[in-house]
Structure 1
Amino acid sequence: MKHVFVIAEAGVNHNGSLDLALQLLDAAKACGADAVKFQTFRAELLATRSARKAPYQDRTTSTSESQFEMLQRLQLGADDHRTLIQHCREIGIQFLSSPFDTESADLLDELGVPLYKVPSGEITNLPFLRHLAHKKKPLIVSTGMSTLGEVEEAVQVLQDEAANRITLLHCVTEYPAPFDEVNLRAMLTLKAAFGLPVGYSDHTAGIEVAVAAVALGAEVIEKHLTMDRSLSGPDHHASLEPNEFEKMVAAIRHVESALGTGIKSPAPCELQNLPVARKSVVSSRALRVGHRIVRDDLEIKRPGNGLAPKFLPALIGLTLRTSVDRDEVLTWNHFA
């Protein structure tokens, strides 16, 4: 059974508060996530002062605040990262973060973060991808807003730089993402096209699409976590609250367990029910030793611990070596 790696995307749902970030860490651990992920960036390296916010950000934050101002308010410093990483070690959950610039990637490397999560917006930033590949750490690459050709170009750049293990996440970059635009089968297209492990970064409302992705073969699931969906901020509205996230993790664990080996055979729990549910050839009436069997002597009934119904034609014309009662389950030992 392959363990699905579940990432609780804290992102910027800390609203710039270290205390709220620590609460998100504790919640992620309590929910059963394998890792909790933040975003590491410096506003002045990420966006110009004139850059517009996305429509979903305008809906969930003050319209008087620019993207640059929003990013300044939401960024975490190096000391904040150290505090969060130490707390992760203490409670036993993996700290991850998505860097948005080379300096942030270098900081995460210095802090010993074991892999990089590449955000969807950086997939066409080939110089940045080369910088990450040189770190020789595993990469989880979100592919939101991308064509297959753009993903191919990114993968080629990473592989040309001898990047470590690459996992591709299908993603729809909208908050929340419409169900009818998720196109979950595209995850399978990524797997077929590149032969790499795949997963799904989910921005839909609810838990069912993430669970469905696991059923389709996702090895990584990422989902936003918030302490309160009503908080002001760009991603809270499209996030799960802790009780919902916990239900999602439980459902994912059930599905990954249920996927099994693919070998079609009776499950161990079925063996006790097999003879009860199946049928055998039985005698339709009491018959004496030496009787030559005709079709009317036989019926097919439960239980299934005797001769299987497929053997009924072979029994016609055989001679009984013992007497049998009505409804007696027949075996080969009854025949001469």
Structure 2
Amino acid sequence: MNEILKQKANDIKLLLTDCDGVLTDAGVYYGDIGELLKKFSMRDGMGVERLRKYAGIETGIITGELSASVTKRADKLGIAELHLGAKNKPAVFNEIINRLGLQPHEVAYIGDDYNDLEVMKLAAITACPADALPQVKAQVNMVCELKGGEGCFREFAEWLIEAKNEASMYPVGQGYIILTNGRKIGKGEPAYIIAEIGINHNGSLETAKQLIDEAVAAKADAVKFQKRTPEICVPKDQWEIMRDTPWGRISYIDYKRKTEFGIAEYAAIDQYCKKLGIDWFVSPWDTNAVDFMEHFDTVIYKLASASLTDLALIQRILETGKPLMLSTGMSTVKEIETTMAYIRNFDENYPLCIAHSTSAYPCPPQELNLKMIETLAAKYPGIPVGYSGHETGLATTVAAVAMGATFVERHFTLDRAMWGSDHAASVEPGGFQRLVKDIRDVETGAGDGVKKVYDSEIGPMKRLRVNISDEYKEKPVA
């Protein structure tokens, strides 16, 4: 990515776009009563949401069109800057930035036709779809690989997100890291809540999609899977041990193969998660699994507690450059220190966060040791510390957030009675919804630490207090 453009992208606060030929395919469609309609790409809609969420960039539409469907689409996506029937796009551009108090260097533009050429001269960064006119392609900073109405806006949006965050993509020692999609984990951010599906899909893609659906319904931030190469991870002396499974009585190695997803399943999961707007990633258990996962643009890698001392696996993850989440269950302080030293020797500023964990399934309350969250935060200041829990209740995970956990992870299942090793220590959909709600309530309830008298207290004050300060005597009751 061009360094000058990256610097420009850091200033962008508003992305303006033409509609016909960018957000739509430029086709002409009519409704039942002959009204002009438009065909929009769902991916472009997600681009609007992701720009707002991950880069703080709002979107505006300037178009010569007068279609009611454009208005409905803008309303659905929360686009306040909608300018239909625009005959003079440069004038509209200037009116918008003057009213919003923006400068031209804070605005990007994407268009495709002759009437976009003049307004493009005013914007800091410009782009066009793959099927734009040649004169437009010759003028813009970026020509998208996708066509209008087929995701070109989303492509440019993702470029802006990456460009805006790349310069400070992985700040270490500042209390937070930034995932590959621009999302922050750490100090000052809402807790990042992970529903670990792991292998609870039992080898079924349909079950995995149901779990993703439930995680989205619970408003989790991410789902996590596990990826193993069975021939590497299963000791050879256990390969032929027979085991009763849903597929009948088969060898242990065949059982492990049955529960592993391949390229087709993970490609489907990748598309499904992107469609639903939820992050996804995995815990790889061997270096081949990392190589496999590099086919996908996941947001982070998780190192399972069992792998904390696997330096070859850690090395392979570090070579990807993606952020790393360490889990510290079944580990001594010395082992944690050794792994941390290894990572810092690779790159002192490597993007890293640490999860306190106790690797018992399920874990009794007396072994949760949640004060380790504070201990790790004090030992590694500036590095986000979270919690990976395996208990059966919800209260202690909520307490972990109250004690400073910047992210939490719990195993997730459709039914704890399902066949499989991790289901019993997992949270069911209804429980996960309560967990997320309770965590958000705790975060909201924490407030800002500044004492104040709320409007809701004025009534009780006037009824109950003997001496009322002058500033509140005339204040109306809420």
What TM-score range do you get, normalising by the shorter chain? 0.7 to 0.9
1:156 aligned counterpart, secondary structure: helix
> What corresponds to 2:447 in structure 1?
260
CA deviation profile, 1:222-249 (whole Å, cap 9, x unmatched): 0111011111101011111101111111
> What corresponds to 2:405 in structure 1?
218
Q: Distance in 2 between matches of 1:257 and 1:59?
A: 47
CA deviation profile, 1:181-223 (whole Å, cap 9, x unmatched): 1111111111111112111111000211110001001110101
The aligned amino acid for 1:256 is: E
Q: Distance in 2 between matches of 1:15 and 1:72?
A: 11
Q: Distance in 1 between matches of 2:380 and 2:415?
A: 38
- State which drifts further: 11-20 or 125-134: 125-134
Q: Distance in 1 between matches of 2:405 and 2:252?
A: 33
User: Aligned pair in 2 of structure 1 residues 159, 42: CA closer, same or farther (>3 Å)?
Assistant: same
Q: Which runs of 5+ in 1 are unaligned?
A: 53-57, 281-303, 309-328, 330-336
Deviation of 1:170 after TM superposition, in Å, equals 0.7
Query: What percent of counterpart residues are identical?
Result: 35
* Bigger Rg, structure 1 or 2: 1
1:134 aligned counterpart, secondary structure: helix
Deviation of 1:256 after TM superposition, in Å, equals 1.2
Is 1:166 equivalent to 2:352 in the alignment?
A: yes
Q: Does the 8 Å contact 2:303/2:324 carry over to 1?
A: yes
User: Aligned pair in 2 of structure 1 residues 31, 156: CA closer, same or farther (>3 Å)?
Assistant: same
Q: Does the 8 Å contact 1:50/1:68 carry over to 2?
A: no
Deviation of 1:164 after TM superposition, in Å, equals 3.1
Q: Distance in 2 between matches of 1:24 and 1:11?
A: 11
Summarize the alignment of residues 1-336 of structure 1 with structure 2, pairs less than 5 Å apart: 2-51=189-238, 68-162=253-347, 164-195=350-381, 196-267=383-454, 269-270=456-457, 273-280=460-467, 304-306=468-470
**TM-score, normalising length from structure 2?**
0.55
Deviation of 1:272 after TM superposition, in Å, equals 5.4
User: Aligned pair in 2 of structure 1 residues 180, 51: CA closer, same or farther (>3 Å)?
Assistant: farther
Deviation of 1:153 after TM superposition, in Å, equals 1.1
Deviation of 1:305 after TM superposition, in Å, equals 3.3
Deviation of 1:109 after TM superposition, in Å, equals 2.2
Q: Does the 8 Å contact 1:187/1:199 carry over to 2?
A: yes
Q: Distance in 2 between matches of 1:108 and 1:168?
A: 21
Q: Does the 8 Å contact 2:224/2:283 carry over to 1?
A: yes
> What corresponds to 1:323 in structure 2?
none
User: Aligned pair in 2 of structure 1 residues 189, 51: CA closer, same or farther (>3 Å)?
Assistant: farther
1:201 aligned counterpart, secondary structure: strand
- State which drifts further: 165-174 or 264-273: 264-273
1:173 aligned counterpart, secondary structure: coil
User: Aligned pair in 2 of structure 1 residues 307, 214: CA closer, same or farther (>3 Å)?
Assistant: closer
The aligned amino acid for 1:246 is: Q
2:353 aligned counterpart, secondary structure: strand
Runs of 4+ in 1 over 6 A off after TM superposition: 58-62
Deviation of 1:260 after TM superposition, in Å, equals 2.1
**TM-score, normalising length from structure 1?**
0.77
Q: Which runs of 5+ in 2 are unaligned?
A: 1-187, 474-478
Q: Distance in 2 between matches of 1:265 and 1:160?
A: 48
Deviation of 1:68 after TM superposition, in Å, equals 3.7
Q: Distance in 1 between matches of 2:457 and 2:215?
A: 37
Q: Distance in 1 between matches of 2:226 and 2:337?
A: 25
CA deviation profile, 1:120-177 (whole Å, cap 9, x unmatched): 1110111211221121111111111011111111111112212632111111111111
Deviation of 1:2 after TM superposition, in Å, equals 2.5
Q: Does the 8 Å contact 2:397/2:408 carry over to 1?
A: yes
Deviation of 1:110 after TM superposition, in Å, equals 2.3
2:237 aligned counterpart, secondary structure: coil
CA deviation profile, 1:261-287 (whole Å, cap 9, x unmatched): 23344456445544544332xxxxxxx
1:213 aligned counterpart, secondary structure: helix
> What corresponds to 2:185 in structure 1?
none
Q: Does the 8 Å contact 1:167/1:198 carry over to 2?
A: yes
After superposition, the CA RMSD in angstroms is 2.6
Aligned length: 280
2:334 aligned counterpart, secondary structure: helix
User: Aligned pair in 2 of structure 1 residues 127, 256: CA closer, same or farther (>3 Å)?
Assistant: same
User: Aligned pair in 2 of structure 1 residues 275, 81: CA closer, same or farther (>3 Å)?
Assistant: same
User: Aligned pair in 2 of structure 1 residues 50, 272: CA closer, same or farther (>3 Å)?
Assistant: farther
Q: Does the 8 Å contact 2:244/2:250 carry over to 1?
A: no
Higher relative contact order (CA 8 A, sep 6+): 1
